[in-house]
Structure 1
Amino acid sequence: MRRERTDAARNRAKILAAAEAIVAAEGVQGLSMAEVAAAAGVGVGTLYRRFGDRSGLAYALIDAREREFQAAFVEGPPPLGPGPEPGVRAEVFLRALTDRTVEQLDLLLMAETAGPLARFGGAYDAYHAHLAMLIGRARPGADVHCLADALLAPLAAPLLVHRVREGGVAVERVKDALVELLAGILGGR
């Protein structure tokens, strides 16, 4: 893998710091490419070349927290990391993923709605593979791929915004429903 040039890394850090400050002050709706470029002291073209569009910038803002989360469930301490039996680990994972999604919900909403398949790939694939592995260990022979999708579907950012913010559903209720769904899956019902 090619190493990032020093000036490019410096520009990236300035751009992300500016974007984070704008999101903190104005929310995601205030995140415009022109405003970020001006705040970072770079040209708008640099932003578009580097991130593509606002959703690409949103994914970059999500990235650091996402890397921490993935490290926690891949190699971190139990119960999220390796050690516990698969059902316990899957439950802890779903609860943590719900919190992680809600934490950056506005950025994820922007990123996931950029195109019809924008939600898939990257982090979604990592979550899917992790859940499929855990389900497979707990229930050999199950259709782990479709079952992992079923568990991840309620955590789509647009659905969470609709249910939690607009529908007033408590985040704990979402987590409890996911755990109930998981129990049904692992119980083979």
Structure 2
Amino acid sequence: MRRERTDAARNRAKILAAAEAIVAARGVSGLSMADVAAAAGVGVGTLYRRFGDRSGLAYALIDRREREFQSAFIEGPPPLGPGAEPAARARAFLDALAERTVEQLDLLLMAETAGPFARFGGAYDAYHRHLAMLIAQLRPDADAACLADALLAPLAAPLLAYRMRECGVGIEQVKSALGDLLDGLIP
């Protein structure tokens, strides 16, 4: 793994700080590459080379929180981390993922809708593998991969944003419904 040059790391930190400040002040819709570059004191070309586009910048903003979340379910304390029964871990994982998604919903909405399969890969793959592993422990005879997709689907940013903002569904209701689905898998 190649280490990031010191000046590149400094520019990355300035860019992300500027982007976070813009999102805090204007929301995700107010995030423009030109404004971020100007606020960070770097060229727009630097921003595009580094992040590709707004969705790449959104993923970079999401990254720190994402790393914390993945660390919690991979090596953190139970019930989210190892040491709890599979059903308790799966429930804790779905609840934590729901909360985590709501925390950065607008950034995730932008990132997940950048292309037809933008949601998949990276973090989704980690979530899917983790949940499929827990489901396989609960129900060795089940199609754990398809069931993991079914449990993750309600937490897609576009669907969650729609349900919460247009339909008035609260996150506790979403978590409860996911718990009901999970209960149906427990023998």
TM-score normalised according to structure 2 size = 0.99
1:110 maps to which residue? 110
* 1:166 shift after superposition: 1.2
Gaps of 5+ in 2: none
Query: Within 2, Cα distance between the matches of 1:18 and 1:129?
Result: 34
User: What is the root-mean-square deviation in Å for CA atoms of aligned residues?
Assistant: 0.6
Give the equivalent residue in structure 2 for 1:49: 49
Q: Distance in 2 between matches of 1:186 and 1:132?
A: 14
Q: Give the CA deviation at 1:165.
A: 1.1
2:31 is the alignment partner of 1:31: yes
1:170 Cα deviation after fit? 1.0
**Aligned counterpart, 1:136:** 136
Structure 1 partner of 2:76: 76
Q: 1:185 offset after TM fit, Å?
A: 2.2
Deviation at 1:103, TM superposition (A): 0.4
Matched, 1:92 2:123: no
After the TM superposition, list the runs of 4 or more consecutive aligned residues in structure 1 that deviate by more than 6 angstroms. none
Amino acid across the alignment from 1:66: E
CA distance in 1, matches of 2:185, 2:63: 30
- Mapping of 1:145-164 within 5 angstroms? 145-164=145-164
Q: Equivalent residue for 1:185?
A: 185
What amino acid is aligned across from residue 152 of structure 1 in structure 2? L
Q: Distance in 2 between matches of 1:89 and 1:110?
A: 29
Q: Report sequence identity in percent.
A: 81
Number of matched pairs: 187
Aligned partner of 2:9 in structure 1 is: 9
Q: Which runs of 5+ in 1 are unaligned?
A: none
**1:81: how far off?**
0.4
